């Protein structure tokens, strides 16, 4: 397990990162990449969508371009404070502070689940994906964006010592174990030489 896959360490990490997150984030996950992922996600204006690991609300902003029924959850109070500053505490998004492995929602209540830039911090990705499977309606889309595994073995070991990096084969294994059917993987990159993201679209069985 990587250093930042520990929840307490991740909370401390984001206590400080939250102050500059929106300035740093575009170097690895920008609006163009988000738009491409949203086109893959394919949600409708009446869909109720959950944004897991919503952070400061970068993904949330994109979701609001497609539906007004957005809910966001994050374990970091500091990240959520940044989100509240953008959207307000009684604005268009209902935010929750909570654990992705124990989502505070009933079964089958969301039309789709989105998570960008969060899976790399989950101590147990399969358990979290099973929670996605539980709260999404049958046939609902689940889209997860995470860091693509480095091609260099040495850099890969260093990266894994910090947090989760994974490839398409590992994504297939995790989603299958969570009873989610993978539809497509897409590798995204802000610019040549920048870190790659692996975007996975999956679907809950009917």
pLDDT digits (tens, 9 = 90+) for 88-114: 998 899 999 999 999 999 999 999 999
pTM listed for this prediction = 0.85
Strands 70-74 and 181-189: unpaired
pLDDT digits (tens, 9 = 90+) for 140-156: 999 999 999 877 544 44
Lowest-confidence pick of 7-16, 115-124, 140-149: 7-16
Q: Is pLDDT at 183 greater than 70 in this prediction?
A: yes
Q: Is pLDDT at 87 greater than 80 in this prediction?
A: yes
Q: Which two tokens stand for residue 190?
A: 């802000």
User: Is 3.40.50.80 the CATH number for 3-203?
Assistant: no
- Which of 22, 114, 130 shows the shortest CA–CA distance to 73? 114
Interval 26-52 mean pLDDT: 93
Q: Which two tokens stand for residue 110?
A: 């969301």
Confidence of residue 6 (pLDDT cuts 50, 70, 90): low
Where in the chain are the domains? 3-203
């Amino acid at each position: 397990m990587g250093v930042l896959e520990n929840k307490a360490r991740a909370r401390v990490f984001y206590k400080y990162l939250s102050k500059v997150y929106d300035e740093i984030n575009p170097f690895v996950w920008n609006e163009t990449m988000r738009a491409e992922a949203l086109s893959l996600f394919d949600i409708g204006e009446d869909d109720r969508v959950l944004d897991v690991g919503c952070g400061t609300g970068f993904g949330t902003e994109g979701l609001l371009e497609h539906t007004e029924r957005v809910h966001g959850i994050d374990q970091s109070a500091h990240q959520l404070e940044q989100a509240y500053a953008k959207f307000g505490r009684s604005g268009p998004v209902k935010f929750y502070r909570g654990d992705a492995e124990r989502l505070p929602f009933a079964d089958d209540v969301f039309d789709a689940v989105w998570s960008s830039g969060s899976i790399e911090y989950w101590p147990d990705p399969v358990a979290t994906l099973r929670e996605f499977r539980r709260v999404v309606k049958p046939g609902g889309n689940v889209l997860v964006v995470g860091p693509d595994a480095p091609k260099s073995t040495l850099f890969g070991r260093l990266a894994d010592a910090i947090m989760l990096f994974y490839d398409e084969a590992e994504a297939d294994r995790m989603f299958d174990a969570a009873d989610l059917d993978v539809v497509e993987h897409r590798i995204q990159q802000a610019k040549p030489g920048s870190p790659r993201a692996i975007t996975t679209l999956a679907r809950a069985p009917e």
